[in-house]
Structure 1
Amino acid sequence: MLHVITANQIRCFLFVTWFGVLLFQAEPLLLITEYSAFAILGVVGAIFANATGAGGGVIFVPFFNQLGFDSNSTVATSFAIQCCGMTAGAITWWAFYRKQHIDDKHWHEISKILKLTVPFSVLGIWLAQLFQAARGGIGEAEQLHAGFGVFSIGLAIALFASIPLLKKQSFSSDLARFDCYALTIIAFIGGIITAYLSIGVGELVAIYLIIRKFSITFSIAVAVILSAFSVWSAIIYHGFFSVDVYWPVVLFAGAGAIIGGILAKQVVLYFSATNLKIFFASWVLFLGFSALPY
């Protein structure tokens, strides 16, 4: 029971902190009037992110592109929002594991996988951000659009290809030595991709685990927790060095993301994994094609 209380206390702390930040703004009522609609974006993005293992950048990046954000502000703001939503989702998934699956053999590798992937994801992100700092930013918006489009299409294809695997009744419970090496490499490459697109590492690790026949809920939980650590490591650069985060948007989209992160687990448990993946893969494919330059 302790872990549930702790999770609830952390969620309450997040909301109290958000409310305190809002009250300390110069014109809180004006901010609410101009930016409160972004809370809906945060809820939707976080539900997708935490219910599928894909980062919220799948929603945020194309939306901010349509608003005319430059590539640096798009990625930085996406990271900041995900720090809220992925943290709430990670806490929710970890509490779910501790409450219902701590003795489940299909979940007992969760800590080991996170120990293998989190450090290499962070390393990939930081190395990519050092390169970004050296060249003065992420790059042109057109390059970001094209990269996002290609990555999203590839992700959608991989998701469609993984759907037949969800119908298997028997799941893997142990990592092979090959899996340990593969996960570190995937996490490192995924971290580099994430630094440029604000999505990547969670999706790649989730797809790999599904292909290796681990359960869908386990794979999503791992991806969400990994993504939470990854976005927090990424926001250090954007929050303190690049200073590209558009904080008024984050204030409200982040609050919505916390709600979405808490609700996402229920979405996964309510819908079948197959239907959830089909819907999500179709949406990602649409976003991928719409982002490509024509």
Structure 2
Amino acid sequence: MSKPSVLLTPKFFLPFLIAWSVLLVFSGMPFGQYMDYGLFSLLGVLGAIFANSTGAGGGVIFIPMFNQLAFTEAQAIATSFGIQCFGMTAGAITWYQHYRQEKRDLTLWHGFNRIILVSTLASIAGIWVIYGYDVASPASLHQSFSWFSLLLGAFIVCSVYFIKPKRESSKLVWFDYIAIVLICLAGGAITAWLSVGVGELLAIYLILRRFDVTMAVAAAVVVSALTVWSAIWQHTLVDFNVYWQVVVFAGPGAVLGGIIAKSLVTYLSARRLKLFFAFWLLVIGTAGI
């Protein structure tokens, strides 16, 4: 029987709750606004559950909502990164604990740490090339996000219905390293523009290569978490655009969602998980276009 996440232990949870309470007290917000912004806590929970159960970044939930709330593109991306620093981190810690306690000796998970290392380095390089050279997105956030979601969702559906199942793979070969580096370089660049990208692309590649689906999701979550932490400094120290009132409420909710997500994955089959992921992407992609 798996142990509960370390994030649910009193040693972590009580200091976290106290720190959040202190932050709310010193935020200077009128008490009446707590209810207005409190709804973002639910958004954080939902976004993190989705993100950490599929390997996708939480931006697939947050960006469409922020578009509806008329955030500027810079605010939407920066705020999405801020929330993901909570949710993806909680998910990454929970997934890595799961690996250490239950999966470390399994053959199908032997490449887990190497995938994370190679993917993270490539993703951070990709994201900071965009920031360092100030490379603009080829289209507006709304258009780019919609097309990215639609194409990725369609690709997943095709992989479910048109690719015949084979025995799961456990061994990384030389071309996997090359493919992962190229995919995560591109994924990092896309993440800089959309706040999502690298986790989705990495998870899809690993699934198509017949690696264990749960391992693919776990690796994508950890890489996404490390990537958003590498990027948040651009949106705070360099060019502050975080809508912090939203992050204050959605962030702690995302922590809860990140912890819950692993349990969801263990109850869903690989096929259902991919179709669930694809359905959401197709919906938001079609609606946006």
TM-score > 0.5 by shorter chain = yes
1:175 matched to which residue of 2? 172
1:252 maps to amino acid = F
Q: Is the 8 A contact 1:165 1:213 kept in 2?
A: no
C-alpha distance 291-13 of structure 1, shift in aligned 2 (>3 A): farther
1:83 matched to which residue of 2? 85
Q: Deviations over 1:48-82 (max 9, x none)?
A: 10001111111110110000001000000000001
2:217 matched to which residue of 1? 220
Q: Is the 8 A contact 1:64 1:74 kept in 2?
A: yes
Q: How far is the alpha carbon of 1:154 from its aligned partner?
A: 1.3
Indicate whether 1:64 and 2:66 are aligned.
yes
SS of equivalent residue, structure 1 residue 68: coil
Q: Is the 8 A contact 2:5 2:259 kept in 1?
A: no
Matched residues in 2 for 1:165 and 1:97: separation?
31
Indicate whether 1:104 and 2:101 are aligned.
no
Matched residues in 1 for 2:104 and 2:18: separation?
30
Q: Is the 8 A contact 2:5 2:97 kept in 1?
A: no
Q: Is the 8 A contact 2:116 2:219 kept in 1?
A: yes
2:38 maps to amino acid = S
Q: Is the 8 A contact 2:44 2:250 kept in 1?
A: yes
Matched residues in 1 for 2:23 and 2:129: separation?
32
In the alignment, structure 1 segments of 5+ residues that lack a partner are: none
TM-score of the two chains, using structure 1 as the length reference: 0.91
Indicate whether 1:122 and 2:119 are aligned.
no
Counterpart pick for 1:188 among 168, 185, 189: 185
Q: Is the 8 A contact 2:83 2:251 kept in 1?
A: yes
Matched residues in 2 for 1:110 and 1:164: separation?
27
Q: Is the 8 A contact 2:129 2:189 kept in 1?
A: yes
2:96 matched to which residue of 1? 94
Q: Deviations over 1:17-62 (max 9, x none)?
A: 3233222222362341220000111111111100011111111101
1:102 maps to amino acid = R
2:200 matched to which residue of 1? 203
Matched residues in 2 for 1:21 and 1:286: separation?
36
Q: Is the 8 A contact 2:122 2:188 kept in 1?
A: yes
Deviates more, 1:167-176 or 1:7-16: 7-16
Q: Deviations over 1:102-159 (max 9, x none)?
A: 1111111111111111111011111112233xx7xx669x711110111111110121
1:261 matched to which residue of 2? 258
Q: Is the 8 A contact 2:188 2:198 kept in 1?
A: yes
Matched residues in 2 for 1:217 and 1:114: separation?
14
Q: How far is the alpha carbon of 1:162 from its aligned partner?
A: 2.6
Matched residues in 1 for 2:14 and 2:185: separation?
33
2:154 matched to which residue of 1? 157
1:42 matched to which residue of 2? 44
SS of equivalent residue, structure 1 residue 36: helix
Q: Is the 8 A contact 1:36 1:252 kept in 2?
A: yes
Matched residues in 1 for 2:182 and 2:14: separation?
36
Matched residues in 1 for 2:163 and 2:269: separation?
10
SS of equivalent residue, structure 1 residue 37: helix
Q: How far is the alpha carbon of 1:164 from its aligned partner?
A: 4.8
Matched residues in 2 for 1:248 and 1:156: separation?
32
Correspondence 1:275-290 to 2 at 5 A: 275-290=272-287
Counterpart pick for 1:143 among 140, 158, 182: 140
C-alpha distance 33-230 of structure 1, shift in aligned 2 (>3 A): same
1:235 matched to which residue of 2? 232
Deviates more, 1:162-171 or 1:74-83: 162-171
Q: CA RMSD in A?
A: 2.2
Q: Deviations over 1:145-192 (max 9, x none)?
A: 110111111110121123259984631111000001110111111000
In the alignment, structure 2 segments of 5+ residues that lack a partner are: none
C-alpha distance 262-178 of structure 1, shift in aligned 2 (>3 A): same
Matched residues in 2 for 1:156 and 1:252: separation?
29
